[in-house]
Structure 1
Amino acid sequence: MTIPSSADRILNDVLRTRIMSAEQAAELIPAGATVGMSGFTAAGAPKAVPQALARRIERINAQGGQFRIGLWTGASTSPELDGALAKVHGIDRRLPYQSDPVARQQINAGEMNYIDLHLSHVAQYVWFGFLGHLDVAVVEVSGILPDGRLIPSTSVGNNKTWLDQADAIILEVNAGQPAALDGMHDIYYGTDRPPNRKPIPMLHPHDRIGEPYLRCDLNKVIAVVPTHAADKLSAYKPLDEDSQRIAAHIVDFLEHEVQHGRLPRNLLPLQSGVGNIANAVLAGLNQSAFEDMTAYTEVLQDGMLDLLESGKLRSASATALALSPEGFKRFEARADELRQRILLRPQEISNHPELIRRMGLIAMNALIEADIYGNVNSTHLMGTSIMNGIGGSGDYARNAYLSIFMSPSTAKGGQISCIVPMASHVDHTEHDVQVLVTEQGLADLRGLAPRQRAKLIIAKCVHPSYRDPISDYFERALKGSVGQQTPHLLTEALSWHQRYLDTGSMRPAASPAA
């Protein structure tokens, strides 16, 4: 076949002989295979092979076939991957995280088996053999060197593990990714299985401990697919008033911690989840007096790019570039400079509990709901329906120097209170939650017993339209609970959720509208 211009990035002679179309490559993936694909958010996800595979699955199943695969990734991916395969009912088992609406519907309908894992666990569970065998890896790279080493793309995720563990490898070489990515990655090959593990030699977020390139056994590469396509990036959303209030509370709190000697003036390394609130907090830090900050996180969003451009952030370590289209243009324009200040690593390193604890991160993550004792639900709606997954929040919350969870106080136009008597599902127990923040205020829970935590959360974080009902519940629980360590009325603890399912609102009938 004629080699397209994007094949100019394929410099290894052996792999140039394996260039083929996405359709030809998809034919090499057998039904029932477990496939590890690149992608951490839409960043670095393969673009062509998953869509070709979806078309093949649709064609075969329309003729009475039963073609499905197991799908492993770094985290959520993109419409061309999760979306395309879910629409044709092509995924039997999915892990470790997803955010596609079609996949979510199938998971909650019981049509797709979903395994929600801490992101730091995925690579080691695969190495341990806990999850079964990996048949095929489909990994996007931005180039192949003459000696066969691979220039990673806009995310690293679990790609090192997929390339090591899979029986067969399909590479998408995307010439649409900036050539300046070359040198921005730090791939650590020093991990091992117990009992042969050694300490990871990192003290600071900007420490280089690995190599700029991925390795793979060239004999396992069965297809090389040239592409030229941008990541499907989400647009940057304007910061809403509630998010800005949450950000202001957090910045004030960090200032307070500095004044009391519990944080250095340039803070400790920042970890920030994704979304509007996270970007608002980063914007607040950009407007603050803090200087010379560092970041050690999963994804680099627009807010962190702003901090890098302003000089407030000295360096950032992540596993993916989750920028908006406008943010990515800014990144491309300054990629040569930013390559000296950004490191992209495998997620087994970006989310590694040992490193998080050693460097003392300030972890800031979102929640779906929290209860009055500080237990946090970050995954399930009404206790039974998955939203996206736990992602890396547990990796950071359990091990961070400061563990902060944040959310608006209400959802669905005020019909749902995000602070409830009892969480309908618990991902982060009260033992891992130090600070809760809503637009109403901030509750510092450190050193408080459960009843003390409840009083502070109700006073600081609950929306006014729910404060009296939740205070009433707590006061009655103090009198009617079997035990007083964590008082609950078990016949009422989840009644707010049931009321929402029955009536469309958590508000008691006599409660005024927000």
Structure 2
Amino acid sequence: MVDRIGNPNLRSKIMPADDAAAKIVPGMTVGMSGFTGAGYPKQVPLALAAMIEAAHLRGEYFKLKVLTGASTAPELDGALAKAGGIDFRLPYQSDPELRARINRGEIEYMDIHLGQVAQYAWFGFLGKLDMAVIEVSAILEDGRLVPSTSVGNNKTWLDLADQVIIEVNAAQPIGLDGMHDIYYGTALPPNRKPIPLVRPGDRIGEPYLRVDPSKVVAVVETQAPDRLGHFAPVDEASRRIAEHLVEFFRHEIRQGRLGPNLLPLQSGVGNIANAVLSGLRSGGFEGLTGFTEVIQDGMLDLIRTDTIQMVSATALSLSPEGVKEFAQNIDHYRSRIVLRPQEMSNHAELIRRLGCLAINGMVEADIYGNVNSTHVAGTSIINGIGGSGDFARNSFLSCFVTPSTAKNGAISCIVPMASHVDHTEHDVAIVVTEQGLADLRGLSPKQRARVIIDNCAHPEYRPLLEDYFLRACRDSRGKHTPHLLNEALAWHERFLLKGDMRA
């Protein structure tokens, strides 16, 4: 750890996690590192949760406003939620305990585009930031910080927080040094200037995070891996979705709308995304680039085989096998990966300028192309919108993917009306299920409905959707986007009452 903490002043502030956590008091707003299970603080949140539980046993109030980059891990979100220590949380989460308490109304949760979090903080919309708790992989002699496996909102938290706790994690590869690009050229309106990035691999900032040493109240030594899960094997539905999408890209090349190297890829996290990336490699594509939020195993494999030459992201989201591969060949990956703050990885202007091909998952789409990516039956949050909206609104092509059914066929993922809308029909260009692909570009609402029903709906649900659409066209008061308002959400109601949309 002497090699990891090179600054004598900050080395003098080393203390146990319990002592560091004691510097966090009830009512604080705390910005913590972490993005999709990577780069989150490992020990201070656990110590903090124990302190909160003890306070509650004494009958004392102890809750916090917790801000992160995205989802973290059980040691942070799960522990603090279980202790009853979170009053408010943003912007994205995936922990079961935290999710359950949000849906029971015990925790206030703000779902927000990941690309907007930093600017909301800078604008003052989120109030004063009292404390930042940030994991890094090392502290240089001059006090600069070598970021960890995620950057997320760390730059903003370090800049805005009144006080800072730093966890230095010796389990993170020291070879991460040099992989990051921290841009310090942002400003508040009306003093903003164009961001000088024109290719995914451009470096426009610094390799390190800055921190005012006078704000650092504690340094905690840790040695713990990121808590990352195994990815499920690619199933048949995911493989077929990938085939449809890869063939669509080939079609766009033949039409002259894409070049042989495509455009920078953005891929959400999950099984289908990995299948699509694998399909690109087996399909003979090469010379690709990526401008995305996270790098998961499928993209790492494309970098390893030089199918992808350069990827820009804000975090790694790898399985344990992927972590091992990354660490063993980190010199190769360091020349092909740039990790940036999420206000850059998810920046609307950059996404539009680069012309990204966005591929994101969804819960359901309705027949007119409105997409729900966050809620069950319109009321219960799953994880959050993440960065899908940043890319859907601004990409060259916005693709949403899902199996056509869920719960062994009891749920149709193509429905008459989406029970919650995260991405309106105006931001959705392509819908893909294992049944087929619907190209919605240049179509009116009724034309979109016919294409989605014909190409994406499961055969068991297709006649039901056709029947609804035909009767809506006949009986709806308005004929532009026909709906039967007394039936539009009846499928969801049937599932809630009987466990099957077909019942």
Q: Do the two structures share a fold, i.e. TM-score over 0.5?
A: yes
Matched with 1:3 is none
Amino acid at match of 2:146: I
Amino acid at match of 2:102: I
Give SS of 2:48's match: helix
Shift of 1:84: 0.7
Alignment of 1:101-250 (within 5 A): 101-250=96-245
Give the alignment's Cα RMSD to 1 decimal.
Answer: 0.6
Indicate whether 1:65 and 2:60 are aligned: yes
Matched with 2:449 is 454
Alignment of 1:84-483 (within 5 A): 84-483=79-478
Q: How many residues align?
A: 503
Give SS of 1:413's match: coil
TM-score, structure 2 as length reference: 1.00
Amino acid at match of 2:26: A
Q: Whole-Å Cα distance in 1 between the matches of residues 220 and 114 of structure 2?
A: 28
Give SS of 2:391's match: helix
Assess if the C-alpha contact under 8 Å between 2:268 and 2:361 holds in 1. yes
TM-score, structure 1 as length reference: 0.97
Q: Whole-Å Cα distance in 2 between the matches of residues 103 and 296 of structure 1?
A: 30
Amino acid at match of 1:120: G
Give SS of 2:460's match: helix
Assess if the C-alpha contact under 8 Å between 1:120 and 1:392 holds in 2. yes
Q: Whole-Å Cα distance in 2 between the matches of residues 250 and 12 of structure 1?
A: 50
Assess if the C-alpha contact under 8 Å between 2:231 and 2:270 holds in 1. no
Amino acid at match of 1:437: V
What's the CA shift string for 1:165-214, capped at 9, x where partnerless?
00000000001100000000000000100000000000000000000000
Assess if the C-alpha contact under 8 Å between 1:416 and 1:500 holds in 2. yes
In structure 1, list runs of 5 or more residues that go unmatched.
1-5, 510-514
Q: Whole-Å Cα distance in 1 between the matches of residues 353 and 17 of structure 2?
A: 43
Shift of 1:336: 1.1
Amino acid at match of 2:169: N
Amino acid at match of 1:299: V
Q: Whole-Å Cα distance in 1 between the matches of residues 296 and 245 of structure 2?
A: 18
Higher mean C-alpha displacement, 220-229 vs 8-17 = 8-17
Amino acid at match of 1:209: I
Matched with 2:71 is 76
Q: Whole-Å Cα distance in 1 between the matches of residues 223 and 284 of structure 2?
A: 42
Amino acid at match of 2:465: I
Assess if the C-alpha contact under 8 Å between 1:7 and 1:173 holds in 2. no
The alignment-based identity, stated in percent, is: 66
Q: Whole-Å Cα distance in 1 between the matches of residues 319 and 286 of structure 2?
A: 25
Alignment of 1:26-45 (within 5 A): 26-45=21-40
Assess if the C-alpha contact under 8 Å between 1:7 and 1:226 holds in 2. no
Amino acid at match of 2:271: N
Shift of 1:66: 1.2
What's the CA shift string for 1:11-70, capped at 9, x where partnerless?
001001100000000000011101000000110000000000000001110111111111
Amino acid at match of 2:307: K
Shift of 1:7: 4.2
Q: Whole-Å Cα distance in 1 between the matches of residues 283 and 247 of structure 2?
A: 9
Give SS of 2:461's match: helix
Give SS of 2:448's match: helix
Amino acid at match of 2:500: S
